[in-house]
Structure 1
Amino acid sequence: MRLVIARCQVDYAGRLTSHLPMANRLLLIKADGSVSIHSDDRAYKPLNWMSPPCWLIEDRNIWTVQNKAGEKLVISLEEILHDSAHELGAEPGLVKDGVEAHLQELLAEHIGTLGEGYSLVRREFPTAIGPVDIMARDADGASVAVEIKRRGEIDGVEQLTRYLELLNRDPLLAPVRGVFAAQQIKPQARTLAEDRGIRCLTLDYDKLRGTDSDEFRLF
């Protein structure tokens, strides 16, 4: 990553035009090719930016960032106050409280969240195409496969659909119904799931974390 603090003005020409008058700003040039211009406020949001694929052409005091669509970000430099490059290395990713594995554990402990009379068969129920997050039985003893996501999108519905198609070929399990559970379910994903007969369940992570476990305990 390259960090440049400079007194500059920035002009964008593309589908629209915009202008940032001369001022001190931070320019971030990342290894993925993206360039963004920041002020000392607005939190993490840049004043202007160009997403990859794009390229930076430096011609003395005029830097031009251009993409394949012909859009240009022209940075006119009056003075460079700081210019440094840093190798950040591989990004391990953000680890969040409430990721899918933890949601799976919490829902398994509080299986009654699915409905009255539900019981847990097992977590990570194996299939030939990968494990189902939770296999449960409803009050009538019917099999229910649960796919859990932090954010429910169409890909998750498609994944659960494939599991259901495979599980329903097993006469010992069929019929198997599906539940798509997530902290947030996008409208398109909900529409697709309901069209396929899959029930959607929005998980309240804080409530799951704060309630007593449904598992049997000696004390």
Structure 2
Amino acid sequence: MRLVIAKCSVDYEGRLAAHLPLATRLLLVKADGSVLVHSDGGSYKPLNWMSPPCAMAEVAPDDLEADEGVTSVWVVRHAKSDDRLRIRLHEILHDSSHELGVDPGLVKDGVEAHLQSLLAEHITTLGEGYRLVRREYMTAIGPVDILCRDAAGAHVAVEIKRRGEIDGVEQLTRYLDLMNRDPHLLTAGPVRGVFAAQEIKPQARTLAADRGIRCVTLDYDALRGLDDVTGRLF
């Protein structure tokens, strides 16, 4: 990753146009090719960015830019569209590169990890006849929380979240796309998906339904055997 702190202005051209006037900003160039422009505020969101696939070139400023004090220009072009990010650097205050290595991925919090363990132990929560194949089933793009089989013997991939949002559905979609290309998993039909969480947002339910993914709301206390039936009216 390359980190540059510079006085710069930024223009985005393509499906939309946006301009950031001259100011001191943090520029990130990631190993995947993405370029992000950050200020010292606005929380985690960049002010502007270009996502991969894209390519960046450092070019000399034109005569007008040079007259305005620009010392170099970054031109970032998207590979699949006409979108273009033009960053005009007036002064570089810091420029360093760092090898971050392979990221191990997000480590689940205690509740998510415990939910996975409990659901694996009580896999019939998903339906009569379900049986566990294994937890943390590894794929080329990461581990699926639970791989199981339904009563008909078909494989089912289960993604578990404490709070189910659109990102989780997208994650499961990617797993399913990959797993449904593995003939060893298709002996009893296509791999289906279950998105399980303590709370599932309406937008996530809508997206899951559109992609043929079943949503299951998990009761943490019931899975732990702490559901107090005496305190209920029904």
| Fold shared, TM-score > 0.5 on shorter chain | yes
**Which residue does the alignment assign to 1:19?**
19
Look up the match of 2:77.
Answer: 66
Give 1:41-56 correspondences, 5 Å limit: 41-56=41-56
Structure 1 segment 184-195 matched on structure 2, within 5 A = 184=200, 186-190=205-209, 193=212
Q: Are residue 166 (structure 1) and residue 177 (structure 2) matched?
A: no
Summarize the Cα distance change of 1:4–1:181 in structure 2 as closer, same or farther, 3 Å threshold: closer
Larger mean CA deviation between 97-106 and 32-41 belongs to 97-106
- Deviation for aligned residue 1:62: 1.8
Percent identity for Structure 1 against Structure 2: 49
Contact (CA 8 Å) 1:6, 1:25: kept in 2 or not?
Answer: yes
- How far apart, in 2, do the equivalents of 1:9 and 1:193 lie? 45
Question: Shift in Å at residue 97 of structure 1?
Answer: 2.6
Of 89, 97, 113, which residue of structure 2 is paired with 1:85? 97
Deviation at 1:40, TM superposition (A): 0.9
CA gap of 1:78–1:154, structure 2 versus 1, over 3 A, is closer
Shift of 1:107: 1.6
In structure 2, relative to structure 1, the CA distance for the partners of 1:193 and 1:181 (3 Å cut) is same
Of 124, 132, 139, which aligns to 1:123?
A: 132
Aligned to 1:128: none
1:78-157 counterparts in 2 under 5 A? Answer: 78-97=90-109, 102-110=114-122, 113-114=125-126, 122-124=131-133, 133-134=147-148, 147-150=157-160, 151-152=168-169, 153-154=172-173
Asked whether the 8 Å contact 2:15–2:83 carries over to 1, the reply is yes
Q: Amino acid of the residue matched to residue 216 of structure 2?
A: L
Cα distance, 1:191 vs structure 2: 5.0
| DSSP-derived class of the 2:76 partner | strand
Q: Deviations over 1:61-82 (max 9, x none)?
A: 2221112322211111121100
The alpha-carbon distance between structure 1 residues 78 and 147, as it changes in their structure 2 partners (threshold 3 A), is closer
- The reply to whether residue 202 of structure 1 matches residue 217 of structure 2 is yes
The one-letter amino acid paired with 1:166 is: A
TM score, norm. by length of structure 2? 0.61
User: In the TM superposition, what whole-angstrom CA distance separates every residue of 1:27-79 from its partner, at most 9, and x where no partner exists?
Assistant: 00111111110011122210000111212221242221112322211111121
Please tell me whether residue 37 in structure 1 is matched to residue 37 in structure 2: yes
- Separation (CA, whole Å) in 1 of partners of 2:44 and 2:9: 20
- Residues 29 and 35 in structure 2, CA contact (< 8 A), matched pair in contact too: yes
Find the counterpart in structure 2 of residue 170 from structure 1: none
Alpha-carbon shift at residue 103 of structure 1 (Å)? 3.7
Q: Distance in 2 between matches of 1:57 and 1:98?
A: 44
Q: Distance in 1 between matches of 2:193 and 2:74?
A: 53
1:172 is aligned to none
Does the 8 A contact of 2:205 with 2:215 survive in 1? no
Does the 8 Å CA contact 1:64/1:74 hold for their aligned counterparts? Answer: yes
Normalising by structure 1, what TM-score?
Answer: 0.64
Structure 1's unaligned 5+ residue stretches are 126-131, 168-177, 215-219
Structure-2 change in CA distance of 1:208 and 1:50 (3 Å): farther
Which one of 179, 182, 196 corresponds to residue 182 of structure 1? 196
Q: Please give the alpha-carbon distance, in whole angstroms, between the structure 1 residues aligned to 2:9 and 2:125.
A: 56
Q: Evaluate the alpha carbon distance shift between residue 72 and residue 99 of structure 1 in structure 2; reply closer, same or farther with a 3 A threshold.
A: farther
- Inter-partner Cα distance in structure 2 for 1:207 and 1:188: 27
